[in-house]
Amino acid sequence: MAPKSYDCFAVVLFSLVATHADIDLETVAQLSNGSSEVASSALADSQLVSGAVVLATCNRYEIYGETPHAENLEAARSALVSQISGLSGLNEQLVSRAFSTRTGPEVSRHLFAVSAGLDSAVVGEREIAGQVRRALITAQHEGTASSGLVRLFQAASKTAKDVGAQTALGSRGLSIVSVALDLATDLSENADWSTKKVVVFGTGPTPEPRCRCFAIAAAPTSPSTRLPAAPRLS
């Protein structure tokens, strides 16, 4: 069954998508500079963007938008591209080329796959579901999430939960860190992680999920983050 379209009468949902599958991660990181301001700035500067939710992770930068009418779609996209260019410092043409645009049922189809971990670098990883939920919470807190986008993201989160509960993917508990640990264990002459020290870079504000697999392996772990006073796994 095809995913339901969450376009409402007189409004149109669309998304700008830049991921590890299409461009290098350095460009993804450059594009996402200033990502916390994109949605609010776009709504403040353009009447053609009536809602926006930003999903920014290490592997993807996606903006889900709403515009009042289908004929405004290209102008709304241009408004978001302009905001991203201004905040990231990248040329508008480069920014425009970096993003693919999804409309209609493709918007929900893609977000559902992302939330379920089916579009991840490690298929089935579960961290992305939480990142999708937090993206909506942030947009609601900032007042940029339209009712159509709220319904879309809530449906995507429910789908991710169902996939986790009803398929084998949920029981695997995969993440990039867990796969890296498995690979390192296979390649190591000494697989006793209790004799090794591990530093995890780029952990963000909540390093516990990324470090937990090392704790299970009994490896002393030190999370490293750019944010001050990052919590440590005890």
Q: What is the CATH number of the domain that holds 146?
A: 3.30.460.30
Looking up tokens 């697999």 gives 213
Domain of 216?
A: 176-224
Catalytic residue numbers, as ranges: 58
Do 29 and 127 reside in the same domain of the chain? yes
- Which of 209, 211, 207 has its CA nearest to residue 225? 207
Buried b (16+ CB within 10 A) or exposed e, 91-117: eeeebbebbbbbeeebbbebbbbbbbb
Looking up tokens 């490690």 gives 122
**Is residue 208 a part of any domain in this protein?**
yes
Question: pLDDT digit string (tens) for 180-218?
Answer: 666 777 777 776 767 777 666 654 544 455 555 544 454
Question: pLDDT digit string (tens) for 134-186?
Answer: 999 999 999 999 999 999 999 999 999 998 888 877 665 556 666 666 677 77
- Which of 216, 192, 213, 190 has its CA nearest to residue 203? 213
Do 163 and 189 reside in the same domain of the chain? no
Q: Which residues neighbour 182 within 8 Å (Cβ) at sequence distance 6 or greater?
A: none
pTM of the model: 0.76
Number of structural domains the chain divides into:
2
Q: Hey, which residues does 224 pair with through a beta bridge?
A: 201
